[in-house]
Amino acid sequence: MKILLTGAAGFIGSHLAERLCARGDDVVGFDNFDAFYPRVVKERNLAGLRARPNFALVEGDLTAPGDLERAFTAAGGKVDLVVHLAALAGVRPSLAQPVRYADVNVTGTVNVFDACRKRDVGKVVFASSSSVYGADSVVPFREDDRCARPLSPYAATKRAGEMMAHAEHHVHGTGITCLRFFTVYGPRQRPDLAIHKFTRSIAMGKQIELFGDGSTSRDYTWIDDIIDGVVASVDQVARESRGHFRVYNLGGSKTTTLRGLVDMIAAALGKTPLVAWKAEQPGDMKHTHADVSLAGRELGYAPKVEISQGIERFVRWWCSEHGPELKALGLKVPTLPYHAPEPR
Ligand code: NAD
C-alpha cells in the first residue's frame, strides 16, 4: 500500500512508519516538527527511516492545506490510505493554548479529510485519545460512552475530530476509524509524558512533582501493542470496499496508580525518588481504563506487555540513550535487570 502518515516524526508516528516500511508499504510522512519538543529529538526518531527507499518525508503544516497537497503530490501516485496522527498532544499545555489546539487538532484534521476527498482517498485512520472520556464516563471506558463532557481543551479537540470524522463518513461515505489510544510508552516516548519525565528526574537525583495524593491511575500501553492495533485497523479499513465509521479503544486494559508507577521507575533505576506533592491539576483525569473487548473481537487486538516489564524496558532504553549524560554529571548508570515491585 501507499500510505500518507501525518505526525511521522513523532513518537508513535515514527514507530508506525518503521513497522509499515518493514513489511513493504510505501510511506510518505508529513510533519512540521512542531516546537512542542525539540526538532533534534524528532530527527533522531527518523534516523532509521531516512535510510529506507520506501520512506519519504514532506515537511509541512496541517493548518496549511497547500502543504497537504504537496504531500499527496510527493506520493507520486494514488495514496491508498491516510493515517492521521499529527496533533498537539499534551493535556496540560492545552489549558493555556486552546485556540492553537483547536487550529491544529480540529481545523488541521478537517483539512486532512478535505484533502483526502479531493484526492479520492476514501480510507482514513485517525488518532483519537482516552481523554475523550470525561466527567460522566463509566470506568472501564467503552466506546459506546457518550463522551459529552471533556475535561480539557485537548480532550475536546480530539472528540471534535471524531465528530468531524463521523460527519465526513456520513456525507461522503469515507471509511474512517478513530483509535482512542491510552497513555502510550516505550522507546522515544514524548519527553513531556510522566514516565519519561520521572525517569529523567529520578535518574538525575532531581525532585519530581506529583499531583493529587498518588491514587490517580492510568491505563498504560506499550508502544508495540499500540502499533499492532493501528496496523490491524489499517488492514481492516484497507480490505473493505465500502466505507465504515468505527471507534476502538487501544489500551493495556490494566491500571497502575501514580504511586505505583513511581515505585516501579525508582526500583528500575535503583534510586529513591524525591517527591514534592502538589494539588490536583485542572484538566487531569482521575482514572483511565480501557475496555478493549471490541478491538479484541474485531481487530484481534491483545496487548501483551505488562507495565512492570514495560517500565524495565523503558528504563533500559533511557539509560542506553542518556548513560553518557549521567556519567558526565558524575552519576552512576543503573545496571539492569532488576525485580519490579508488584503494580499497585
Ligand atoms: P508526538 O508529539 O510525538 O507526535 C505528533 C507529531 O505531530 C509531532 O512530530 C509534531 O511535530 C506533529 N505535528 C504537530 N502539529 C503539526 C502540524 N500543525 N502539522 C504537521 N505536523 C504536526 O505525539 P505522539 O505521542 O506520537 O502522539 C501521536 C498521536 O496520538 C497524536 O494525535 C496524539 O494526540 C495521539 N495520542 C497519543 C497518546 C500518547 O500517549 N502518546 C495518547 C492518546 C492519543
Sequence-distant (6+) residues with CB within 8 A of 245 are: 165, 166, 169, 170, 175, 176, 177
Cα of 259 vs centre of ligand 1, distance in Å, is 27
Mean pLDDT of 329-340: 67
Cα of 86 vs centre of ligand 1, distance in Å, is 5
Residue nearest (by alpha carbon) to ligand 1 atom 8: 10
Q: What is the pLDDT of residue 343?
A: 52
Q: What is the pLDDT of residue 337?
A: 52
Sequence-distant (6+) residues with CB within 8 A of 247 are: 128, 143, 162, 177, 178, 179, 180
pTM of the model: 0.96
C-alpha cell at 13: 508516528
CA distance 258 to 307: 12
Q: Angle CA(62)–CA(218)–CA(269) in degrees, nearest 5?
A: 100
Q: Which residue has the higher pLDDT, 149 or 327?
A: 149
Position in ligand 1 atom list of the atom nearest CA 154 = 34
**Tell me: the pLDDT tens digits for 234-260?**
999 999 999 999 999 999 999 999 999
* Residues flanking ligand 1, CB < 6 Å: 7, 9-13, 31-34, 36, 42, 61-63, 85-89, 104, 108, 127, 129, 181, 183-184, 190
Q: Which residues are catalytic?
A: 154
Q: Which of 85, 177, 179, 285 to mutate to test the pocket of ligand 1 (most atoms within 8 A of CB)?
A: 85
Highest mean pLDDT among 24-28, 319-323, 327-331: 24-28
